[in-house]
Structure 1
Amino acid sequence: MIGAIVSAIVIGAIVGALARLIVPGKQNMSIWLTLIVGIVAALIGTLIAQAAGWADTRGIDWIEHILQLALAVIGVLLVTRMGMGRGRSGRTQV
């Protein structure tokens, strides 16, 4: 149980960071939000890969990891487009 949680955090951090590198431009997101997006993308990607039968292969599960990364990129785009990043008040300054 503890190993699975630590694994999800590590994979989530890697997937979230890679997604931010792939998305063009500056993303105004905190490291914690990046981690959350990465963890959620990793968990959803794993569930989809298991349902499709792609998660139990010999060696590295490349399809699962690519799916996780694609979901993380979508998550980063959604978070930045919705303005859920860091410190947006919604007010315009004059």
Structure 2
Amino acid sequence: MGLGSLVVFLIIGALAGWLAGLLVKGGGFGLLGNIVVGVVGAVISGFLLPSLGFGVGGGFFWSVIHATIGAVILLVILRIIRTGS
């Protein structure tokens, strides 16, 4: 992975984490937290969505949407775990 790809990867993660924070919790988690949530969300949706038969197009926009869906799933699961304890 080149430096340019890594920068785009981090930008997508940050945007997806920020959007998921807005949708689920009402705010972001700071730059590093947004990146982590977005990247983990992208991994989750990368495994989950194709196995459910859903696919998204290519490109920057769809990559952000894809990662945001996974990040929202991650945050909802974390919220359930926190409130269940």
Tell me the amino acid that sits aligned with residue 9 of structure 1.
L
Q: Judge conservation of contact 1:19–1:69 (CA < 8 Å) in 2.
A: yes
Q: Judge conservation of contact 1:12–1:38 (CA < 8 Å) in 2.
A: yes
Q: Judge conservation of contact 1:9–1:35 (CA < 8 Å) in 2.
A: yes
Q: Residues of 2 paired with 1:30 and 1:24: CA distance?
A: 10
Q: Residues of 1 paired with 2:49 and 2:76: CA distance?
A: 22
- Scaled by the length of structure 2, what TM-score is found? 0.59
What's the offset of the Cα at 1:4? 1.3
Tell me the amino acid that sits aligned with residue 3 of structure 1.
G
Task: Extract unaligned runs of 5+ from structure 2.
Answer: none
Q: Residues of 1 paired with 2:64 and 2:29: CA distance?
A: 23
> What is the count of residue pairs matched by the alignment?
80
Q: Judge conservation of contact 2:41–2:74 (CA < 8 Å) in 1.
A: yes
Question: Residue 41 of structure 2 corresponds to which residue in structure 1?
Answer: 41
Same amino acid, percent of matched pairs: 29
What are the residue-to-residue correspondences of 1:46-65 with 2, within 5 Å? 54=55, 62=62, 64-65=63-64
Q: Judge conservation of contact 2:43–2:70 (CA < 8 Å) in 1.
A: no
Higher helix share: 2
Task: Extract unaligned runs of 5+ from structure 1.
Answer: 84-94
Question: Residue 78 of structure 1 corresponds to which residue in structure 2?
Answer: 77
Q: CA RMSD in A?
A: 3.7
Q: Residues of 1 paired with 2:18 and 2:5: CA distance?
A: 20
Q: Residues of 2 paired with 1:3 and 1:50: CA distance?
A: 27
Tell me the amino acid that sits aligned with residue 33 of structure 1.
G
